[in-house]
A = this chain, B = another copy of it.
Amino acid sequence: LIKAFKKSSKSINYIESLRGKRATFMLALANSKTANIKGISQAGIDGLLHLTPTLDCEFLATGSIFSIDEIAKTDSGIPSPALITRAIHELNPFNLEFLDLGIEKKPKIEYFDIFDFKLKPSDRIDENAKIDSRSIFEKAINFANDYELKSDYLIVAETIPSGTTTAEASAKALGYDTKGLYASSFSKAPKDIKRKTIDRALLNISNDLDVFDRLSSVSDNMLIFYAGFIIGLSKKCRVILAGGTQLATVLLIINSILKEDKFTFSPENLALITTKWIYEDKHSDIEALLELLDFEVFGYYSDFDFSKSRFDILKKYDSGEAKEGVGAGGALGYASLNGISNESILESIENILERF
């Protein structure tokens, strides 16, 4: 089942009108060198964290990994949420599309649609990320204008290690009061390292900087690209942001951009879908993030969890590890909207896990 953060006739209508419709699932791959800061993220294999987007892409697309021998895992061995999204792709396939927004290692996939924007991974935000944010934003707007949706609606998702850190830094740099609102892929988030990194990053922000200058210094390619892409696409079709606090940050960035520049923007076409783990996370507050917006975007979560799983490693999701990523929440919502039961999803996930 898929549940609205706030139950209203309009929020129920929005999501129910997508029932049975076909979705394109778009996954943005990006790296930020922020992930090289020791201990900042566990979204991947220790020492090979930068490979997570590459492996997530290969795994979602093919159910196999080519660039290394194993699926991306947290330090405690939790498999990437790509596992969830892949399981749903096997049950009720998406039209898959990938965005290369600057990654260390190209995924070994062929025959799939992968849009390459010729970007480099961004630098560490504590040393100034040095992103050409205006150029990325413009590329995104142009891409939205040219983009041809091949399904009824679009689901956008991301995979970028240390993405919650760059997201929180971005929101703070834009002046949002985000204390206690941001998530982490750790169950016990490494608050000290994250906080110090964000604090150092914010030292580069001064009052005279405009939105894009701020983002250039403390953000990541995914956040900036999606801000432009979603503004541009909102007037053309329904777009589901499949993610947690990072995709909520895309909306905060849009909110700030619209205060400085004029764009046609149709927020009524947007919604955010996340996992139950993010919705119920005590260390972050996705609902509160959406309430910082000057426009309304409905939020939803999937009620799927691993309480009935045979695998202890999966149950760790229920204790707050990993939580979200690779659009797992949106993929779970898509499954519900297409008549796939939680039992079938669990079975599909466990089958894949057994293959490995």
Contacts and interface: CB of A to CB of B under 8 A. Distances in A.
A20 B66 contact: no
Looking at chain A's contact residues, the main secondary structure is loop
Nearest to A94: B20
Contacts of A339: 90-93
Contact of A17 (B13, B94, B112, B337): B112
A341 to B, nearest CB: 9
Contacts of A112: 13, 17
Contacts of A93: 19-21, 337-339
A74 interface: no
A66 B9 contact: yes
Contact size class for A? 20 to 34
A306 interface: no
A63 B10 CA distance: 13
Contact of A13 (B10, B91, B110): B110
A62 interface: yes
A64 B12 contact: yes
B64 A19 contact: no
Contact of A111 (B14, B62, B66, B337): B14
Interface in A57-113: 61-64, 66, 89-96, 108-112
B64 A9 contact: yes
A16 interface: yes
Choose among A94, A108, A337 the residue with the greatest number of B CB atoms under 10 Å from its CB: A108
Contacts of A61: 13, 16-17
A333 to B, nearest CB: 14
A12 B109 CA distance: 9
A63 B16 contact: yes
B13 A111 contact: yes
Nearest to A336: B90
A112 B339 CA distance: 19
A62 B12 contact: yes
B20 A89 contact: yes
B90 A13 contact: no
The 7 closest A-B pairs by CB, nearest first: A20-B93, A17-B111, A16-B62, A9-B66, A91-B339, A13-B110, A19-B93
Given A9-B109, A13-B111, A16-B111, 8 more contacts: A9-B64, A12-B62, A12-B63, A12-B64, A16-B61, A19-B89, A20-B93, A91-B339
